[in-house]
Amino acid sequence: MFNLETLIQKEENRALEFKEEFPKKLKLIKTIIAFANGSGGIILIGIKDKTKDIIGIQDDPLLMEEKIQNIVFDNIKPIVIPHVSILNHKNKIILAIKINSGDQKPYFQKSKGLEEDVYIRIGSTNRIADQQMIDELSRRARNISYDSIIDYTISTELLSLEILNDYIKKRNVDLSCEYETFEKIGLAEKTNEHSHPSIAGVLFFSNNYPEKYSSYFIKLAVFSDTTRKKIEKQKQFDPPLLSQLENAFELCKFAIPSSIELKDLEQKIKSSLPFEIVREALINAVCHRDYSIVGSGIQIHIFSDRIEIINPGVLPGDLTIEDLGKGISEVRNRQIVKIFRELGYIEQLGSGITRMFEICKETGLEKPKFEEIGNYFKVTFYYKKENFDILYRYIQKNKVVKINELTEKFQMHRNTIRSYLNKLINKNLIIREGKGPQTRYKLK
């Protein structure tokens, strides 16, 4: 059953579209195809998309329902079954068309064929799928994960036995450290006497990715304030996959602003975010990114008030943002997730985001913000607003200070100190004088 009041509070997205009146035939076809190729969706007819005013439909809803069924049957292949509901809201009739995620992807327009008219949903728009996306839709229909595909252009002998040996030790299993082992654990396949790894095998066990894997990176950027105007530091992390994750996490711990806490006359440094939720978010990003999307990697953006982790690919399968934190799980990369579970990075599928919510609640943080932006997924954590009185008291005592003096005294990241100084300036408590290395801060 549709909850109309809830739906109209939302903006159009990859699973929701508003129409003031019955749409033109081609637009309706494109949207239904895009929903079927994605995680499904709802089209509401009789609602203005900008203002959400409910104006209702004037035509006979039963005739409109029949028209929809005919348009879909005559123009879309494979067969899609739209579920049409007639809703009465304060004596105004709304037509709701629900399209389920299809299990025979890719869907396309009959008149043009599979190569030309496969539509996908990106944000609130319908777009023509390129061949890469068509291949991905076909894999979903066959229940094949991209990371399990064998890369016949690479020899298993190009993988690292040293990394394999470390993997065996961590798992504490009875396996030999030889190239044939990759086949035994399902990360390679032998064809015509030659062994070739899966994509997951290359990601985990290669120290040097081939050129076509060059976008499988994690990149971190630290910005000087709440905007992207000035980058203080940026770093791209090298393979293999676990090293990328661990090294990115270590730099996050250093770059995330810290605060000063005074307790029982003891000065303590406290991170603005619990590191555990950042680690969970990074593991999720690595496990669930869409590796079929090339040209863009995982991005970590650290600001003075928040951290953003941006991942190629929207939520997998039928998962929606509303499902997050409810223990519901969809696995996009089966081999990658399997290895992470074997190595103890994942305790239970579906528990990571639930734990994020719990930690935020326990520590008084805002809930993480999840967004699907175009073909990317973004999670944002906002820092807890901490007491920085001790910094002000130090300036009161010493009259004039430089930022280098403060970073050395309090052993805090320069970005953190600058953030607190800017807050004190905004509160009219201190002023800034000079430029560059000669910049000084003193009481107003």
Model confidence over 30-50: pLDDT tens digits?
Answer: 999 999 998 899 999 999 888
DSSP code for 437: G
330 and 364 fall within a common domain: yes
Determine the pLDDT at residue 243.
96
Angle, helix 61-75 to helix 25-37, in steps of 10 degrees: 70
pLDDT (average), residues 337-365: 85
Domain boundary among 347, 365, 382: 382
The whole-angstrom separation of Cα 86 and Cα 82 is 13
Task: Return all residues near 323 (Cβ < 8 A) that are at least 6 apart.
Answer: none
Cβ(356)–Cβ(280) below 8 Å: yes
229 and 363 fall within a common domain: yes
Secondary structure (DSSP) of 151-217: -TTS-GGGS-HHHHHHHHHHHT-----STHHHHHTTSEEEETTEEEEBHHHHHHH-SS--GGGTT--
259 and 373 fall within a common domain: yes
Closest CA to 200 of 379, 331, 320: 331
374 and 416 fall within a common domain: no
pLDDT category of residue 27 using cuts at 50, 70 and 90:
very high
pLDDT (average), residues 101-108: 92
State how beta strands 298-302 and 218-223 pair. parallel
165 and 307 fall within a common domain: no
pLDDT (average), residues 202-230: 92
Determine the pLDDT at residue 324.
86
Task: Return all residues near 140 (Cβ < 8 A) that are at least 6 apart.
Answer: 105, 317
Task: Return all residues near 410 (Cβ < 8 A) that are at least 6 apart.
Answer: 260, 267, 269, 391, 417
| Residue 303 scores a pLDDT above 50 | yes
40 and 123 fall within a common domain: yes
Determine the pLDDT at residue 389.
63
> Structure tokens of 156?
């298993």
| Residue 293 scores a pLDDT above 80 | yes
pLDDT category of residue 267 using cuts at 50, 70 and 90:
low
Domain boundary among 141, 159, 193: 141
List, in sequence order, the alpha helices (H) in 79-160. 131-141
Determine the pLDDT at residue 266.
59
| Residue 55 scores a pLDDT above 60 | yes
136 and 205 fall within a common domain: no
Domain boundary among 94, 114, 141: 141
Determine the pLDDT at residue 76.
95
pLDDT category of residue 265 using cuts at 50, 70 and 90:
very low
194 and 66 fall within a common domain: no
30 and 64 fall within a common domain: yes
Cβ(333)–Cβ(291) below 8 Å: yes
Task: Return all residues near 367 (Cβ < 8 A) that are at least 6 apart.
Answer: 357, 360, 361
| Structural domains counted in the chain | 4
Determine the pLDDT at residue 259.
62
| Residue 422 scores a pLDDT above 90 | no
Mean pLDDT of the chain: 88
Closest CA to 119 of 23, 38, 16: 38
Cβ(113)–Cβ(17) below 8 Å: no
Q: Is the pTM here over 0.75, yes or no?
A: yes
90 and 67 fall within a common domain: yes
Residue type, 301: H
Query: Residue 199 is part of which domain span?
Result: 146-213
Q: Between 3 and 106, where is the model more confident?
A: 106
